[in-house]
Structure formats: structure tokens, C-alpha cells
Structure 1
Amino acid sequence: MPILGLAPSSEPIKPAHFDIEKVIRPNILALHPYRCARDDYQEGILLDANENALGHSIPPTANDIHPELQSTLDLNLNRYPDPSHDEIKSRIASLRSLPGKDHVFLGVGSDEVIDLIMRVCVSPAREKILITPPTYGMYAVCAQVNDVDIVRCNLNLSGAEGEGGANGRFSVQVDDIKEVVASDPSIKLIFLCSPGNPTGTLISHASLRSLLEYEPFKGIIIVDEAYIDFAGADASTASLVKDYANLCVMQTLSKSFGLAAIRLGVALAQPPLIQVLTNTKAPYNISTPTAQLGLAALADEAISGMRQKVATLVSSRGNLLQSLKALSPLGVGAAIGGNDANFVVVPILNRDTREPDNVRSERVYKALAEENKVVIRFRGKEAGCAGCVRITVGTDEENETLMRELEKVLTEI
């Protein structure tokens, strides 16, 4: 069954064993998407969508209380947004060196992309996804919401710290994943996080290629690259999208672009999967204020500013790691993972045994938040992360406050 809205192509599919029409649920392939008013016409006297012709009802006096509202109130908020946002997609395709907007899907944060790809590919109560703990928690949440079973294949929890590549700590265990998917054809999706959350570790391109080309697995591999801009040049696997029809790369404007509040997520994939996601999404999933801010953030000057801030945060990350190392006598262990994101993960150790200590770690976490107003994240219950806290790289002033208060708390606990 052809994918509705997608022109036939005579180009060979790579890898040859992949057939997207066998991955997408039959009811989704047969879906005729809702056709909204703005799909047809976007200019003229618009009397086709039952919008409020008199405009929004927020009074001008609102600007006296919230002056930041002015630019938003100047938008045509009484009109439904553009359902396609082609200019945003084109700018993202250019930024990530992809052929064009037909390789880009926009979601309400990456979470909508996670949920949507799960719904279009995995049949509830019958089929499964595979995740690699420790990893981002929303994969499991979305699976449970959609009544989808989860297969867990841990990252390498015992590899040498800082070794990196295919064998370091928190690297993907490719052979284990291959063995699992070969024995269970009901696994439709593999979710990988690179840099990992909470591991901060990159997936090697070689490991990903090996999985993409593994003939027994007929499904799709999703690589979540929310933190990719903090990992340096050539870290992204988006460059592989042109070569592999069974790859979907997720990114977001929440992290490196500093736009967490607008909720704009991105899926990068070949046109067939992008078209299926487009056919299935809500008609107006990206709001006009989000679109306007996203478009502005993707202008050349804004991208240059983003890269400068990323460079500053990467430098601060190095300084933070050095400062944390100085607290070793008080029970801060060496940072774990790859440290390729805008956060670091360190274990809090028992003062007597010098082993990771979840009880002490959680007490430190709560004391910092409740008594010292410095909020970090306790991650000690994640696989391979015993005793660990995750610390976002802040401003210089925030990092200095963190170190001062952390030293105080560690002395007391």
C-alpha cells in the first residue's frame, strides 16, 4: 500500500532489507489525514475555518502588566497557524545538511515525536520497543501509555571510564542488541540516546551503522540527539539519514538553542517516514508564537549566537568538572559517562567506604534543594549510576554558588 501524499520513487532503498510499509501499522498506512482549512488557502478574506473574525480578546492594558506580551499580541492569534511551516523545515534541513524540507518533521517537543512514531509503528499489546538503560525516561512512559511492551538492553555498565568508542562505559552493546532483536521479531523500534541522558555519552557512528545494516532487524532506529550541539563537530548522526531509510534522528530547540519554553522538537528522516508522521499528527500542532520564535532562532545571526553560547557552556563544563574533582576528599567521585552534553554526572561516595552511596547522595540532593536553594537531579536509581547526581552546567555565578553550597552540605552530611 503506497504512503498517501508521497510521490513514487525509483531510487533503491538502503538498507535493502528495510521496507517501511511493513513497519508502519496497516491502519496508519490506510489513514486519510484530516485536511484543514489552511492546507488549501492561507491568504484572502478567510471565512473557511470558523475562526473569530474580531480577533483575540486580550486587552491592550495587558501590556502594562506584561510588556513582554506585545510582540505576541501583534500576531494573528485569532487565525489557525500554518500547518506545514515549510520555512522552518527548510532552515533546519540546511543547518543539518539534509536535502530539503521533506526530510524534516516538527513536533511539540521531542516528546510528541517519541509518542507519534511509537503510535504509527507499534501495535499495542502485540509489538515492542527496545531501549538501552540508563536512558531518557519518556521512552518507557510513552510505551506504557500506548500499551507497548519494552525490551531493555543495558548500555555497557562496566567499560573503562573515558575510554569512549564502542567499548567505553555507557557505550551501546551492539552484539547484545543484535542477539535480542534477532530472537524477537516483534521489536519494531530501537531508541538510542546520543549524547545519552543521563550518561552524556555519544553513540559511535560505527555502532549505529552496524545496527542499521543488521538484516534480521526490520524496524526503525531512533537516535535522540537533544544535546548534540554540545558534543562537537561531526558528532551528529543526522549525516546518515540520507543513506539509511531505517533511521530517524530526533533533535530539539530546547537545549543548545535555549528555547525549552516554546516546545519545538524535530525529527530528521527520509521522506517516507516524514510523510507518515505528517499524515498522522494533529492538524495544527505547532502554534504561531512557537513558529515565529523558532524561525527567528534559525536565522544566521541567531545560529551564530547559539554556537557562541554553546562554546561558553562547553568551556564552563570543563571548569565545573575540575571544581568537582577538588571535592574528592569530601566524597565526590570522578565524573562518569562521556560529558558530551550540557551536564555532568558524578557519584556521591560514602565517607568511610568510598563507594557510591545512594542514601548519602539523596540526602545531599535534598539538602541542596530545600535548605540551600540549589536544585540538581538525583539519578542514583538508574542502571550503572549508583550514588549519582546530575548537574546542569549553569552560568559562572550559578556554578560558583553550586560549588560553595555543595562543599557546605558535603561537610555536614
Structure 2
Amino acid sequence: MAILGLAPSCEPQRPAHFDIEKVIRPNILSLHPYRCARDDYQEGILLDANENSLGHSISSLGKTEELLSVLDADLHRYPDPSHNHIKARIAQLRSLPDPKHVFLGVGSDEVIDLLLRICVTPGREKILITPPTYGMYTVCAHVNDVGIVRCNLNLSGDQGEGGENGRFSLVVNDIKAALSSDPTIKLVFLCSPGNPTGTLISLKSLRSLLDYEPFKGIVVVDEAYIDFAGEDASAVSLIRDYGNLCVMQTLSKSFGLAGIRLGLALAQPPLIQILTNTKAPYNISTPTAQLALAALEQPSLTTMREKIEFLLDSRSRLAQSLTDLSHLGLGPIIGGNDANFLVVPVVDKVTRIPDNQRSQRIYKVLAEENGVVVRYRGSEPGCAGCLRITVGTPEENKVLIEQLRKILEAL
């Protein structure tokens, strides 16, 4: 028996007439699951998963009171299946008319999976993605036996026909051509700011796709990092005018609540209702809901915004520190830098060409010998030699730069 991740066994299978490989769908047996940051390293200075290094922003409770409030809840009862109080606060925060425009999922990953299940027919229809991008779009497509069409972002930074300015921007004409040539594409997944690119997609480009009459499906904009991108950056402002738009957001990044797993879909009520009709009955737990409500109170939102400003300042300082190491073999930071991370290529000291082998070596030495964990992204299109580095606390950033300098000098 060959199952990815499971060591071969010499033990006979019982009962003898049963073969699990003949029961499991072939696309699942061949599936390569999403490799998350914690699969590799769980300890040290963790600058690999784009978490909020300053922690959560729940300011109304101390840690003991916060824990007691969760324990005092009716945990023996099933949770509220709708959580309209949370939806109302999110609608107000994002300037949407009412809670009917908000869906809550177990992280954005549940939203991605549900969108695929309700929109795309397995074995017949497809999604479109724009590499380099978030890996779960591909994993969910494979799980659901859905085809994938890939239209790379602008990898060179050149201004081509139908493209925006800058590296990792959308090449809108390429996407439109793909949509016109393949009517089986039902969903377009766009990441803004991008992961791993950190690049914001312009609202002009989004409107161009949403208005493109030959495409009859839905444009999904993943805005996990949108709060780091500044005012008027979000595609939520387009929801009133476009029923074919779904914006995903999360409490994992700017809110610093990756551990509670709460993702959002923001769209017009018809799509939100269909998502609601399809989800598991009690998908959001009572502890998650209580912590989310506390995070959405005004004092907590004020704290969140203060932490965002602090992280943006830290991002600028970290960017300068990385630039100061260029003579040791770091290339210029790439991407739009609109998120809470930076992407920098490791280059050959002589040729200045991005060097995947040297980058992987530095990544491993940083983690295994120095306790500083970043993310290797050199296998992504347009990201040769690249390390993705989450903006840490000032102390964490200082250690990162000190250790990175030593390793670059030695390698």
C-alpha cells in the first residue's frame, strides 16, 4: 500500500478482502497536501507563517479573565449556528449594509473549499489561479477533482499589454483570454495582497474582470493581509455593484488570532445564503465566537490599528536592514510590500543571479542552528532564490539580521 505520508508496512491488511486504495478516490490518493509552516519547525523565532508577531489585540480582558469567560460559556450546548452578532460587527467594520453580506468559516480555507463545492462540477469544470499564489487553491481543487488553469502574474515587472505596472501585478488580458477560451472556468482566485508576493491588485483590474461579459463565474479576492495595505485598498467597496464578487478576509493576520481559525466571505446576500445553506451546522465554535466578539469591540479595534502601524514601521526598518546586507548576497526586495512580510532573493555573490541552492542552505542553517525560522519560496514562479520573512518584533528582527549576516558571510 502506498499512501503519501504513511510509512510502508509489512503487516497484512485485515480483512484480506479489503483494499483501501480501491475505495479512496484516485485524485485523493495522489494528492500532495498543503505544506504549512509548522510542518517543518515548531520552535524558535517563527518568522515563516505571516502571523501577527505582536499577538492578538483583545484589550478588554486580561488572560485569566479571558480564559474564565470562555469556560463560563455554555460549552455543553451546541454553538449559535448563525453568529449574527459577529456578522453585524464585521458588516459595520467593513462598511457593508447588513449581516446578510457576511459568512463565517473555519478559516478562509473552509470558504475556499465551500466555494469550490457549490460552484465547480468535479471532473468537468475548472478554477483559474495566478501563480505565484496561495497553495490551498490548488490543494482544494485537487481534493474536489477540479481542473486548474494557471495564468502567471507579471513575473518580470515589464509593462506588457493588458498588464499593470510592476512585478507580480495581474496580466488582465491573459486572464481574459483564458476565460474566453475555456467556458468551464467557474471561479477566478486572486490574492490581494498576494502570498507570497505581498503585492496589491488594483481595483481597476478587478473591475475589468468583473465587467468581462464572456466570464459567467465568480471572482474571488483573498484579502488575508488587506489591513496592512492602507486605506481604500479593499475590494469590499465593489460588493454593492457586483454580485459576481466574493471577498475573503480573516482574523488570523491583522487581528492576531490565527489560533481561533475564523475566516470571512463578504459578498451579496444570494451567494452568502448559498454558502450558509451548504456549511456544516455548527462550524464556528463558542470559544472562537466569544474571542472574535471581543476582538471586534472598539477598544480592541483601536489596539489592532496601533499594532498595524507599529508593524508597518517595523517592516520599513527590516527592509532597510535587509538592503544593508546586499553586499553579502541578498538581492533587492521583490513584490509590492503591502503585507506583514517581505520577500528577498538570495543571490550568488559574484554573478548576482538568484541562487536556490544557497537560499535553501541559508534557510536550513537559520532554523536548525540559529533558531530563526523563515520560509523558503524559491520554487514559486518568479521567486527564484527567495526567502519570505514575516515582520517580527523589534527584538526578533534584530536577531534575524544578526544571524543572517553571519550566515551570509560564511556561505
Do both share a fold (TM > 0.5)? yes
Determine the structure 2 residue equivalent to 1:88: 86
The answer to whether 1:221 aligns with 2:219 is: yes
Determine the structure 1 residue equivalent to 2:374: 376
Question: Aligned partners of 2:71 and 2:158: how far apart in 1?
Answer: 54
Q: Given the two structures, how large is their TM-score scaled by the length of structure 2? A: 0.83
The answer to whether 1:324 aligns with 2:315 is: no
Question: Aligned partners of 2:389 and 2:172: how far apart in 1?
Answer: 29
Alignment of 1:138-177 (within 5 A): 138-159=136-157, 166-177=164-175
Q: Which runs of 5+ in 2 are unaligned?
A: 1-63
Determine the structure 1 residue equivalent to 2:28: none
Runs of 4+ in 1 over 4 A off after TM superposition: 66-69
Question: Aligned partners of 1:159 and 1:369: how far apart in 2?
Answer: 31
Determine the structure 2 residue equivalent to 1:13: none
Q: CA deviation at 1:412?
A: 1.1
The answer to whether 1:134 aligns with 2:132 is: yes
Q: CA deviation at 1:109?
A: 0.3
Alignment of 1:330-349 (within 5 A): 330-349=328-347
Alignment of 1:7-406 (within 5 A): 69-159=67-157, 166-406=164-404
Residue correspondences, number: 345
Which secondary structure does the structure 1 equivalent of 2:248 belong to?
Answer: strand
Question: Aligned partners of 1:160 and 1:71: how far apart in 2?
Answer: 54
- Give CA deviations for 1:252-276 in whole Å, capped at 9, x if unaligned: 0000000000000000000000000
Question: Aligned partners of 1:226 and 1:364: how far apart in 2?
Answer: 28
Q: CA deviation at 1:69?
A: 4.3
Which secondary structure does the structure 1 equivalent of 2:241 belong to?
Answer: coil
Q: CA deviation at 1:300?
A: 0.9
Q: CA deviation at 1:67?
A: 9.3
Q: Which amino acid aligns with 1:403?
A: I
- Give CA deviations for 1:224-250 in whole Å, capped at 9, x if unaligned: 000000000111110101110000000
- Give CA deviations for 1:23-78 in whole Å, capped at 9, x if unaligned: xxxxxxxxxxxxxxxxxxxxxxxxxxxxxxxxxxxxxxxxxxx9974332211110
Which 10-residue stretch deviates more, 180-189 or 151-160?
151-160
Q: Which amino acid aligns with 2:366?
A: L
Which secondary structure does the structure 2 equivalent of 1:301 belong to?
Answer: helix
Question: Aligned partners of 1:341 and 1:67: how far apart in 2?
Answer: 32
Q: Which amino acid aligns with 1:401?
A: V
Question: Aligned partners of 1:262 and 1:314: how far apart in 2?
Answer: 24
Determine the structure 1 residue equivalent to 2:37: none
Q: Which runs of 5+ in 1 are unaligned?
A: 1-65
Contact 2:120 2:126 in 1 (8 A): yes
Q: CA deviation at 1:352?
A: 1.9
Percent of aligned positions that are identical: 71
Q: CA deviation at 1:167?
A: 2.4
Alignment RMSD (CA, Å): 1.2
Question: Aligned partners of 1:127 and 1:391: how far apart in 2?
Answer: 36
For residues 321 and 160 of structure 1, do their structure 2 counterparts lie closer, same or farther at Cα, with a shift above 3 Å needed? farther
Q: Which amino acid aligns with 1:241?
A: I
Q: Which amino acid aligns with 2:333?
A: A
Q: Which amino acid aligns with 1:299?
A: E
Question: Aligned partners of 2:408 and 2:158: how far apart in 1?
Answer: 27
Question: Aligned partners of 1:246 and 1:94: how far apart in 2?
Answer: 22
Highest relative contact order (Cα 8 Å, sep 6+), 1 or 2?
Answer: 2
Question: Aligned partners of 2:183 and 2:175: how far apart in 1?
Answer: 12
Question: Aligned partners of 1:117 and 1:402: how far apart in 2?
Answer: 39
Q: CA deviation at 1:131?
A: 0.1
Question: Aligned partners of 2:171 and 2:118: how far apart in 1?
Answer: 27
